[in-house]
Chain A
Amino acid sequence: EAGVAQSPRYKIIEKRQSVAFWCNPISGHATLYWYQQILGQGPKLLIQFQNNGVVDDSQLPKDRFSAERLKGVDSTLKIQPAKLEDSAVYLCASSLDRNSYGYTFGSGTRLTVV
């Protein structure tokens, strides 16, 4: 079974630039999550989708972060404009349903803002 695919693996940008990350979940997984993991900390949930609807985006900095999941499959997370403190690993995860069964993480995108 293919895992959760994320791209790119690494990205370096200057502050105030824009960046986008892509995630392709495991086939059939209705729930998709984006996490931000700052070095030395556990992942922090940014947004959770159920199919193509948003379930929880309470911790998403909406002034600069946006995410969408068109057609309930792939998802993109965008940061515009980026700040130095956005440097982190951005993890995508998917699960069969909102009860989190079959919860699987992608390898992440490491973002460095300089």
Chain B
Amino acid sequence: KNQVEQSPQSLIILEGKNCTLQCNYTVSPFSNLRWYKQDTGRGPVSLTIMTFSENTKSNGRYTATLDADTKQSSLHITASQLSDSASYICVVSPNSGYALNFGKGTSLLVTP
């Protein structure tokens, strides 16, 4: 069973609108949680990384939140742009540092 679940699976929004992507995980113990953006045909690019003690991290129009008690994270995108169309992947790293746990991603399409 996948230890990282993302929702929604896909999302379509109008340019300029905000959106929030969700990530629930069961990985324990927990070291850090990352959000990646993956454009079609490209490798994932890191947006944010948060450790256990952090509950929010921003990178431009991207803001990630983390609730380690409920094991939930969200990625909020403000004032979306066409270039935000991509897959957003939540990745959780256990304390061992051996293997990252990947979600299946949320496919975001921003339309004019």
Binding site for B on A (CB under 8 A): 4, 6, 40-45, 48, 55-56, 89, 91, 93, 97-100, 103-108, 110
- We find that the number of chain B residues with CB closer than 8 angstroms to chain A is 22
**Nearest Cβ distance between residue A84 and chain B, in whole angstroms?**
20
Q: Measuring CB to CB, which residues of chain B are less than 8 angstroms from any residue of chain A?
A: 4, 31-32, 34, 36, 41-46, 89, 91, 93, 97-100, 102-105
| CB-based contact A4/B43 at 8 Å | yes
Partner among A40, A89, A100 whose Cβ is within 8 Å of the Cβ of B97: A100
A6 partner residues in chain B, CB cutoff 8 A: 43
- Across the interface, do A42 and B89 meet the contact criterion of CB distance under 8 Å? yes
Q: Decide if A108 touches B43 in the complex (CB within 8 Å).
A: yes
Q: Are B97 and A98 in contact (CB under 8 A)?
A: yes
Once the chains bind, are A107 and B102 in contact (CB under 8 Å)? no
Given known contacts A91-B43, A103-B46, A106-B43, A45 and B104 CB-to-CB distance under 8 angstroms: no
Name the B residues within 8 Å of A98 (CB-CB): 97-98
The distance in angstroms between the C-alpha atoms of A105 and B47, with both chains bound, is: 13
Complex contact B89–A48 (CB within 8 A): no
Q: Nearest Cβ in chain B — how far from A53, in angstroms? A: 13
Closest chain A residue to B42, Cβ basis: A107
Pairwise interchain contact A42-B104, C-beta atoms closer than 8 A: yes
Indicate whether A105 sits within 8 Å of B44 (C-beta atoms), given known contacts A41-B104, A42-B89, A100-B93.
Answer: yes
Chain A residue nearest to B93 (CB atoms) is A100
